[in-house]
Chains A and B, each alone.
Chain A
């Protein structure tokens, strides 16, 4: 089996690469690429994302044919895909960071700034917070409810269909921190930085 981490030249993905390689050991091949054919022939794809919604979407669009290839992979062929942080946020129809920007539109909804209640909550939401698992998700196998995950973000995904939400976290409100819609998975937190419990989530995705 091979898993491709999409390297679309946006932000720092070395931690994602390190963590997937740590979990995969010799049993799974981890590729890091933006090559369309490599992505097409992958069994699974990881879509990381750091920086702003707009900068990530722009970076995706800069690579000719990449969004079409990802669409084909996740929507037409329905192969497993995991979005991390802004990678998850880009599933939305639209994001409002910097300026209104069209997302991939895979899970209907929008990405807006966290309401920090007039400064009561500091932004970015940085650090370890507990996840409240609201539905069974394949990537939460053997993950206990209220486990701690590492977060760093100022924007939140607000999906229209609440049924896609698999976990929330409490920071000024119940922030969506994990989604599962058929073959599409996403975490707002960083499993690659969430210690052993985060590596277990990566293991669960690889083992799907």
Chain B
């Protein structure tokens, strides 16, 4: 039986790990390579790096982090943040990333997803959707949550599947950093709309939220940052808890 995945996410800025609360108020929390190794040794099903380096001159730091991590961690490694082109994807894959997540570029230029999934295979193309509720629908935001594209998130999800995305990483902008739990409505609606796996993200504050993301949100995988980050919970604790709630996990 296929297991639901738990994916700890590390926000990386200038080669160092930081934690995001509503995308501002950043705190330094260590070396990404060591952090990733702790997670993979602890049973993480995948590791996710989100590069939030702002300046172009420091953009190369992520390649070094990915290269070092991929030599120490032998579980899938997803890297996102600032990915603009097929060439960026190529570089990250060559450094040892297994999947690359594309956010703003997928909105601005649909060719990036189409071309990269053809060139490298859908299995390594994750489209990251930052969605914010507006009335009875959700809109897709870009540029780290700063710009509203006005695009309907559900229609966009369907289009990205058609364009060749292998997975969707769906973040609720309303919940991100709040620790109030995933936007279950958003997750389940997108998951029902597409036939590719959905990774739920944004808002995890406790282990029950992970359970809800899978049971109610119908997500194939759950991504979380802060609950793992400051030692509040280990990945193992999370897995044991999901297991106790009848969710299939790799233990």
Contact = CB atoms under 8 A, between A and B. Distances in A.
B74 A22 contact: yes
B196 interface: yes
B76 A150 contact: yes
A14 B195 contact: no
A151 B124 CA distance: 12
Contacts of A119: 195
A50 B124 contact: yes
B1 to A, nearest CB: 6
Contacts of A122: 195-197, 220
Contacts of B221: 127
Contacts of B123: 50, 124, 126, 152-153
Interface stretch (A30-38, A101-109, A179-187, A191-199): A191-199
A19 B220 CA distance: 26
Contact of A12 (B2, B40, B124, B166): B124
Contact of B98 (A15, A21, A130): A15
Given A50-B121, A196-B74, A130 B195 contact: no
Contact of A127 (B93, B97, B197): B197
Contact of B45 (A128, A154, A171): A128
Interface residues on A, range: 35 or more
B121 A128 contact: no
Interface residues on B, range: 20 to 34
A148 interface: yes
Given A150-B75, A152-B123, A196-B74, A126 B220 contact: yes
Contacts of A52: 121
Given A14-B70, A19-B74, A124 B3 contact: no
A197 B223 CA distance: 23
A199 B73 CA distance: 11
Interface string B50-93: 00000000000000000000110011100000000000000001
B96 interface: yes
A127 B120 contact: no
A123 B196 contact: yes
B142 interface: no
A69 interface: no
B110 interface: no
Contacts of B19: none
